[in-house]
Amino acid sequence: MSEIAFWSPDGVAGRLSRRSVGPEVTCTTLFPYVLVTDQGNTEAAFEAGLGSRGLGIDRPKELIHYAYDANTSHTWPLKAYVKDHLSGVIEVWHTKYILGSDGARGIVRHIAGVQVQAQGRHEIWAVADVLADTNFPDIRRAIVCSKGVYADTKRPGWCPHMRTTQSGGYRSIGCRSPKLFY
């Protein structure tokens, strides 16, 4: 996705019409595009990169706690307490780094004492895999309108993956009567 379409009611029987189309990314960057891909693609690329370096991912394991240990060598100053969910055993791993890619409310951020400034959006989203037979002009763009947000992403070997907000009495764009748009 590289563009976003803005829609709003046109005043005629509550129909929506496109007001403008603009770039998805408006800040200065070398790569002014948004890559929308499913979690499977992201994990496959990550695991392939690790595998090319002789590394891998241990599943299902969970970081329980970590701490700086001044009494150990400077090479491995962190102790990570990791629970193996298959055996129930908590292991102690010595490491140099801990990468926290577990989200705004993740355990790494929590233990480090990093406060979350933004709480994020508290909307209800509906997600569906659909094959839409439509002539809707913005089916491949993200859409924002006064009624909510809609996004369509492709998944390899699957139908398009549609997401839409459901809060505030919002009716799903592109999934109801096409008369809503024309």
Question: Are 130 and 173 found together in one domain?
Answer: yes
Question: Are 128 and 173 found together in one domain?
Answer: yes
pTM score = 0.51
Confirm if 8 and 17 have CB atoms less than 8 A apart: yes
Quote the number of domains for the chain.
2
Confirm if 173 and 150 have CB atoms less than 8 A apart: yes
Has residue 47 been placed in a domain? no
Q: Which residues pair with 68 in a beta bridge?
A: 78
Question: Are 133 and 176 found together in one domain?
Answer: yes
Mean pLDDT in residue range 66-79: 86
The dihedral built from the CA positions of residue 90, 91, 97 and 99, taken in this order, carries a sign that is negative
Instruction: Name, in order, each residue with C-beta under 8 angstroms of 67's C-beta and a sequence gap of 6 or more.
Output: 78, 79
Identify which has the larger pLDDT, 133 or 46: 46
Give 89-139 pLDDT, tens digit per residue: 999 999 999 887 777 778 888 888 887 776 555 666 677 777 777 787 777
Question: Are 136 and 107 found together in one domain?
Answer: no
**36 falls in which pLDDT band (50, 70, 90)?**
low
Question: Are 132 and 87 found together in one domain?
Answer: no
Q: Tell me: pLDDT of 180 over 50.
A: no
For 1, the token pair is 């996705």
Has residue 22 been placed in a domain? yes
Question: Are 73 and 106 found together in one domain?
Answer: yes
Residue 166 structural domain: 3-35+121-180
Question: Are 132 and 175 found together in one domain?
Answer: yes
Has residue 89 been placed in a domain? yes
pLDDT of residue 59: 83
pLDDT of residue 170: 40
Domain boundary (112, 131, 152) is at 112
Q: Which residues pair with 126 in a beta bridge?
A: 164
Least Cα distance to 172 among 122, 136, 126, 123 occurs for 126
pLDDT of residue 25: 66
Has residue 42 been placed in a domain? no
The letter for the amino acid at 124 is: I
Confirm if 123 and 166 have CB atoms less than 8 A apart: yes
Give 130-161 pLDDT, tens digit per residue: 777 778 777 777 777 766 666 666 666 656 66
Q: Tell me: pLDDT of 11 over 50.
A: yes
- Helix, strand, coil content of the chain in percent (nearest 5): 15, 30, 55
